[in-house]
């Protein structure tokens, strides 16, 4: 298995043997429990469903509660499915020890929501000229199309709107350190999402 579910704890820095300052993100990764095994015979593909975290039974829906009871595990907060060619059975534990320093991983999470933003913050527009009579168009997006032809605004035009709060993936992040006793993973650079946001880590 090369994937794990975790929580982003925040960013810090460490120093390597030569004294170089390395910015890292600390992730509380796993342990994850195998909740369901998908097979080619029954489902048409091979994968496993991992459960991460804890949730009170009175906060869990009855269908999910039965799903967890069938697997013989406690109610979990997060469920994710991953393709794998290895053999697992419900109840197996997968820990952060599947990673080692030097591995390249990709981390997927939900980016921070920034609410309704203008084109300068959302797309990096430069804004209008601050001279020649302009006083209320400094952060405007400018023209959004021609007048008589095509007489409409093309779909997909970059305009103001809600920014962030979308699923995104950062690839080629190097694993700097693995701390098995604390179930922590240190990866170089930044990853998407706020502090304590749920992420998935996959070895490339």
pLDDT of residue 110: 94
Mean pLDDT of 7-36: 91
Q: Going from the N-terminus, what domains does the chain have, and what CATH number goes with each?
A: 3-118+168-203 (2.40.30.10), 119-163 (no CATH)
Write the pLDDT tens digit of every residue in 27-80. 999 899 998 888 888 888 899 999 998 888 888 889 988 988 888 888 889 999
Write the pLDDT tens digit of every residue in 66-120. 988 888 888 889 999 998 888 888 888 888 989 999 899 999 999 999 999 999 9
pLDDT of residue 1: 65
pLDDT of residue 89: 86
DSSP state of 97: G
Rounded distance between C-alpha atoms, residue 68 and residue 187, angstroms: 31
pLDDT of residue 134: 82
Rounded distance between C-alpha atoms, residue 15 and residue 18, angstroms: 8
For 120: left if phi > 0, alpha if psi spans -120 to 50, otherwise beta; the answer is alpha
Nearest to 91 by CA among 36, 169, 20: 36
pLDDT of residue 192: 93
* pLDDT > 70 in the chain, percent: 100
């Amino acid at each position: 298995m090369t994937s794990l579910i975790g929580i982003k704890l925040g960013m810090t820095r460490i120093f390597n043997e030569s004294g170089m300052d390395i910015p890292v993100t600390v992730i509380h990764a796993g342990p994850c429990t195998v909740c369901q095994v998908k097979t080619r015979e029954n489902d048409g593909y091979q994968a496993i469903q991992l459960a991460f975290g804890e949730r009170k039974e009175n906060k869990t829906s009855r269908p999910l509660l039965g799903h967890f009871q069938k697997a013989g595990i406690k109610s979990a907060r997060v469920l994710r499915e991953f393709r794998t060619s290895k053999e697992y059975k419900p109840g197996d534990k997968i820990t952060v020890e599947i990673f080692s320093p030097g591995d390249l991983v990709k981390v997927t999470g939900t980016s921070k929501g920034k609410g309704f933003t203008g084109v300068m913050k959302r797309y990096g527009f430069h804004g209008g000229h601050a001279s020649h009579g302009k006083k209320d168009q400094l952060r405007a997006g400018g023209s959004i199309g021609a007048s008589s032809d095509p007489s409409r605004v093309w779909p997909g035009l970059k305009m103001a709107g809600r920014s962030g709060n979308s699923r995104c993936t950062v690839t080629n992040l190097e694993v700097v350190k693995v701390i098995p006793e604390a179930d922590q993973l240190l990866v170089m650079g930044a990853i998407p999402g706020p502090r304590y946001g749920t992420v998935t880590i996959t070895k490339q």
